Structure formats: C-alpha cells, structure tokens
Amino acid sequence: MTIEPNSPVTIPFGDLSRQYRSIAGDIDAAIKRVLDRGWFILGEEVESFEREFAAYVGVRHAVGVGSGTEAIHLALIAAGVSPGDEVATAANTCVPTVSAITFAGAAPALVDVCERSFNMDPSKLEAAITSRTKAILPVHLYGQAADLDPILEIGRRRGIPVIEDVAQGHGATYRGKKLGAYGLAAAFSFYPSKNLGAFGDGGAVVTDDDEIADRLRRLRNYGEERRYFHTTKGFNSRLDEIQAAVLRVKLERLEDWNSRRREIAAIYNQGITNPRILKPAEMESGTHNYHLYVVRCERRDDLRTHLGSMGVGSLIHYPIPVHLQKAYSELGQARGSFPISERCSDEVLSLPMFPELSDDEALQVVNAVNSF
Ligand SMILES: Cc1ncc(COP(=O)(O)O)c(C=O)c1O
C-alpha cells in the first residue's frame, strides 16, 4: 500500500488552510477580541458559544470541554458510569470512543455494525447488554446517524441511558432533529478537521438535563461548585476562550459547509461508475453531513496506490478495528469476533472531502476512481 514518496499529490485529502483563507478576517478579529480582553479560560466566548451551539443542536445546554474524547469520558461519568461497569458501543469506531470508556473505568462491550450504514446494528445490541451495562454509546460514524429509534427503545426498556458519540456528526439529522438531541447527553469533538473544527483540541457535551449539565460544569473544572468550593472530584477539561471564539465564527458557516459537502458527495455519487467500487449508502432516516465520503473496494490497497499515482489523496478510517488493536488485546476478542467491522477495516477508503474542494477537483477524483 505504499504511495511513491515522489508522486505529487495535487488533490489533497483535506486542506484546512483553504478554509482559513476564506474566513481569515473574521477569525483574526475573533482571536484579537480574546487577546485584547486578556481572559482565556471560562469567559464570555465560551458562554456565548455554549448558548449558540445548544440552540443549533436544539437542546438546553452545551458544556465546552477539552476534546471529544473528554466529552465522552465526562458524559459517561455524569450519567453515573463508574469503575466495573460496562458501556455498549459500536465495534467499528475511532479508538477514542473506547479510550473514553476505559478512562471512566468501564469496559467496552462491542457491537458489530450494519453492512451499509457502518453503524451499530441494533439487532445485535441486546446480546451485548449485561447487568453491568450502565450506558449505550452509539457512534454516528462518518457523519451519518446510527439507527437511533431501536437503540433508544432498548435503552428505555432496559433502563440504560443512551449517550451519543457525535464527534463526526455536526449538523447531521435523524428523523428531523439534529444528532445530539436524542440521548441523555451527546459528545461532540471540535478536532480541527471535523465539520465544525477548532484550531486545536476542543469538545462539548450537550444535554437537555439540567442536573447532568450541572455535573458536567463541575467535572470539567476540578469539581468546583463555586470558586475554591469543591463538591465533587473533578478534572481539568475546558474549552478555552480562543477556541470558542473561533468556533463561533465557524458555527455561522456550518450549514453552508455541510451543504457544500453534500454537493461534492452528489458529484461522486453521480460520477463514480466503476463496478469495483461500492459507494456509501444514505439512510432514509436522516441527512448525512459527509464528514467523510467512504467507499468500499475489495482491492482497497491497490485502489489507494492507484489514486496516489494519479495525485489524489485518500485515507483509511480505520485500518485496524478496536478489538484487534494491541492496546485492547485484553478484550480477548480475536479476528472473527466482529466480522462486518473487520471487513470494513479491510475495504474502506475515504476520498477527498472538504467544503473548499472545487467541482473540477471532485471530477478529477471521479476520473481517478473510475480509471482503477
Ligand atoms: C467517532 C469519534 N469519537 C471520538 C473522537 C475523539 O475526539 P477528539 O479527537 O476531539 O478527542 C473522534 C475524533 O477523533 C471520533 O471521530
């Protein structure tokens, strides 16, 4: 799967500098506002962003934290997950979903995914639930909703809260509501390359539950109830003022950027006709935000080499499933445990996808894929 070091990549997989250039004036002014104010942690920008982001998702509260991983970690703790518990989540996910579970002291109970949506298969969820399961953590992978209705129904019937991992799902919808508005709480990442990305690490937990929001505000800030009065043991995990100011500028453009991603996906969907390539399926239950445009191909590594030779960047999300990672060998789940997730890891390839990609570039990607 080596790409020749000298092959000129003319269409990058992603390019955040193009986005900055398109909004530099507003971004520079927002950062300067923070520098002039001289207040960097838990101030006006974070408060305003939390209000604006909660309104965008359609929930009562957003609590800014240090990263998406910490958003999941703190949401699980706020929902009552403690050492020795189990959390059911998708086997086909980014490793930090599971890092957050283990940092809360719990064990992940992995659930295989649906072949076409790449997301948790609700029909396999109950088999993963035990008396120790204290949360269900569906992941909206690549920017498309997991099938939430049956997952929420199982959670309700078994008395287990659902916490959504929306790290890749900003602005995507399920049955008319934004992702993040369904679970007891939901975790977002603002990692720079996300559909809503900061200029560093950042994250947020959203919730309609006043008590959970209150707990999260204490958990992220050393367990403080008010200055120097600590009513719980906590962490240091706060979205900072500069990142919040950047995110406020970008939040205003998020809907337009997501629409542009869908236009690029439409160019790919229409143009790619190579029978070796399986294009991503859009579920009828909602709108995809195309955080990633992920195709499948049995000869994925050859496809990637071919694209590289034609100057088209690509990435694999993700080449090794969590249960086969060395760090999680303790799960004792050998190859064969989650066959669909394993096949995804062998076959998926993400094509260039970012709002500033031009139509011409998207058509060049189509040509490169069709000529494989
Ligand atoms: C599905 C998923 N969950 C969790 C995370 C963790 O987010 P962060 O990188 O902000 O910690 C990410 C992003 O990397 C992700 O894609």
Residue-wise pLDDT tens digits, 273-305: 999 999 999 999 999 999 999 999 999 999 999
Taking 50 as the threshold, does the pLDDT of residue 122 lie above it? yes
pLDDT of residue 2: 40
Mean of the pLDDT values across residues 145-167? Answer: 98
Q: Rounded to 5, what percent of the chain is helix, strand, coil? A: 40, 15, 40
Report the CATH number that the domain containing residue 290 is assigned in CATH. 3.90.1150.10
Atom of ligand 1 nearest to the CA of 168: 16
57 within 8 A of 206, measured Cβ to Cβ: yes
Question: SS in 3 state form for 94-147?
Answer: CHHHHHHHHHCCCEEEEECECCCCCCECHHHCHHHCCCCEEEEECECHHHCCCC
Rounded Cα–Cα distance for residues 240 and 355 (Å): 26
Mean of the pLDDT values across residues 235-257? Answer: 98
Contacts of 300 (CB under 8 A, 6+ apart): 316, 346, 347, 348, 349
The chain-wide mean pLDDT, for the chain, equals: 96
Query: Does a structural domain hold residue 145?
Result: yes
Residues 280 and 240 occupy one common structural domain: no
Query: Does a structural domain hold residue 1?
Result: no
Rounded Cα–Cα distance for residues 67 and 140 (Å): 17
Q: How is residue 346 written in tokens?
A: 């062998």
pLDDT of residue 1: 38
Q: Please indicate, yes or no, whether the overall pTM of this predicted structure exceeds 0.85.
A: yes
Query: Does a structural domain hold residue 346?
Result: yes
Query: Does a structural domain hold residue 5?
Result: no
Query: Does a structural domain hold residue 243?
Result: yes
Residues 225 and 283 occupy one common structural domain: no
- Residue 227 burial (10 A CB sphere; 0-12, 13-18, 19+): exposed
Cα(65) to centroid(ligand 1), Å: 13
Cα(229) to centroid(ligand 1), Å: 32
Rounded Cα–Cα distance for residues 112 and 109 (Å): 10
Taking 70 as the threshold, does the pLDDT of residue 147 lie above it? yes
Residues 244 and 352 occupy one common structural domain: no
Residues 201 and 263 occupy one common structural domain: no
Ligand 1: which residue has its CA nearest to atom 8?
A: 68
Number of domain units in the chain: 2
Placement of tokens 């062998």 in the chain: 346
Residues 177 and 290 occupy one common structural domain: no
290 within 8 A of 262, measured Cβ to Cβ: yes
- Number of alpha carbons in the 13 Å side-chain half-sphere of residue 368: 24
Domain that holds residue 55: 20-251
Last residue of a domain, one of 251, 275, 292: 251
Query: Does a structural domain hold residue 3?
Result: no
pLDDT of residue 53: 99
| Confidence tier at 268 by pLDDT (50, 70, 90) | very high
Residues 176 and 283 occupy one common structural domain: no
Candidate of 168, 170, 291 to mutate for ligand 1, largest count of ligand atoms within 8 Å of Cβ: 168
Cα(136) to centroid(ligand 1), Å: 17
Residues 154 and 233 occupy one common structural domain: yes
Last residue of a domain, one of 219, 251, 283: 251
Residues 193 and 321 occupy one common structural domain: no
For residue 370, how far is the Cα from the chain centroid? Answer: 29
Longest dimension (CA), the chain: 65
Residues 209 and 280 occupy one common structural domain: no
Cα(71) to centroid(ligand 1), Å: 9
Residues 225 and 341 occupy one common structural domain: no
Placement of tokens 């709002």 in the chain: 355
Query: Does a structural domain hold residue 308?
Result: yes
Taking 70 as the threshold, does the pLDDT of residue 3 lie above it? no
Ligand 1: which residue has its CA nearest to atom 10?
A: 68
Strands 163-165 and 185-189: parallel
Cα(36) to centroid(ligand 1), Å: 32
| Confidence tier at 18 by pLDDT (50, 70, 90) | very high
Ligand 1: which residue has its CA nearest to atom 7?
A: 68
Taking 50 as the threshold, does the pLDDT of residue 40 lie above it? yes
Last residue of a domain, one of 204, 228, 251: 251
Report the CATH number that the domain containing residue 184 is assigned in CATH. 3.40.640.10
Rounded Cα–Cα distance for residues 230 and 15 (Å): 43
Residue-wise pLDDT tens digits, 191-210: 999 999 999 999 999 999 99
Candidate of 89, 94, 195, 341 to mutate for ligand 1, largest count of ligand atoms within 8 Å of Cβ: 94
Query: Does a structural domain hold residue 11?
Result: no
Atom of ligand 1 nearest to the CA of 139: 1
pLDDT of residue 355: 98
Residues 120 and 29 occupy one common structural domain: yes
Cα(188) to centroid(ligand 1), Å: 8
Mean of the pLDDT values across residues 139-163? Answer: 98
Taking 90 as the threshold, does the pLDDT of residue 6 lie above it? no
Residue-wise pLDDT tens digits, 334-365: 999 999 999 999 999 999 999 999 999 999 99
Helix (H, G, I), strand (E, B) or coil at 219: helix
Residues 124 and 267 occupy one common structural domain: no
Which contacts qualify for 109-112: CB closer than 8 Å, 24 or more apart?
A: 109/133, 110/322, 110/323, 110/331, 110/333, 110/337, 110/338, 110/341, 112/338, 112/339, 112/340, 112/341
Q: How is residue 47 written in tokens?
A: 């408060």
- Choose among 319, 322, 317, 318: nearest CA to 102: 322
- Ligand 1 pocket list (CB less than 6 A): 67-69, 93-94, 96-97, 139, 165, 167-168, 189, 191, 201, 203
pLDDT of residue 9: 63
